[in-house]
Structure 1
Amino acid sequence: MTASDPTSAGGAAAVREMRWWDIEAVLELERELFPEDAWSAGMFWSELADARHARATRWYTVAEDAEGRIVGYAGLMAIAGEGDVQTIAVARDQWGTGLGARLLQRLIDQAAAASCGELLLEVRVDNERAQRLYARFGFEPVGIRRNYYQPSGVDALVMLRQMKDEGKTDDGR
Structure 2
Amino acid sequence: MGNAIVRKMVDEDIDNILKIEEQCFATPWTRDAFDHELHDNPYALYYVIEIEGTIIGYCGLWLIIDEAHVTNIAILPSYRGKRLGNALFKAVLTHARQLGAIQLSLEVRVSNVVAQKMYRRFGLVPGGIRKNYYTDNHEDALVMWVKL
Q: Give the TM-score category using the shorter length.
A: over 0.9
Q: Cα distance, 1:98 vs. partner? A: 1.6
Instruction: Give structure 1 regions of 4+ aligned residues with deviation exceeding 6 angstroms.
Output: none
Work out the number of aligned pairs and report it. 148
Does residue 34 of structure 2 align to residue 49 of structure 1? no
Q: Which runs of 5+ in 1 are unaligned?
A: 1-9, 164-173
Q: TM-score, normalised by structure 2?
A: 0.93
Counterparts of residues 46-125 of structure 1 (less than 5 Å):
46-50=36-40, 56-66=42-52, 68-125=53-110
Does residue 24 of structure 2 align to residue 20 of structure 1? no
Asked if the contact 1:37–1:149 (Cα under 8 Å) also holds between the matched residues in 2, the reply is no
Other-structure match for 1:142: 127
Q: Which has the larger radius of gyration?
A: 1
Q: State, as a whole percentage, how many aligned pairs show the same letter.
A: 40
SS in 2 for 1:39: coil
Q: In 2, distance between residues paired with 1:102 and 1:38?
A: 23
Q: In 2, distance between residues paired with 1:131 and 1:159?
A: 9
Q: TM-score, normalised by structure 1?
A: 0.80
Q: In 2, distance between residues paired with 1:47 and 1:161?
A: 24
Q: Cα distance, 1:106 vs. partner? A: 1.4
- Counterpart of 2:2 (choices 7, 11, 27) is 11
Q: In 1, distance between residues paired with 2:73 and 2:85?
A: 8
Q: Cα distance, 1:151 vs. partner? A: 3.0
SS in 2 for 1:154: coil
Q: Cα distance, 1:115 vs. partner? A: 1.2
Q: Cα distance, 1:120 vs. partner? A: 0.2
CA 112–81 in structure 1, closer or farther in 2 if over 3 Å, else same = same
Asked if the contact 2:59–2:74 (Cα under 8 Å) also holds between the matched residues in 1, the reply is yes
Q: Which runs of 5+ in 2 are unaligned?
A: none
Which moved further from structure 2: 114-123 or 90-99? 90-99
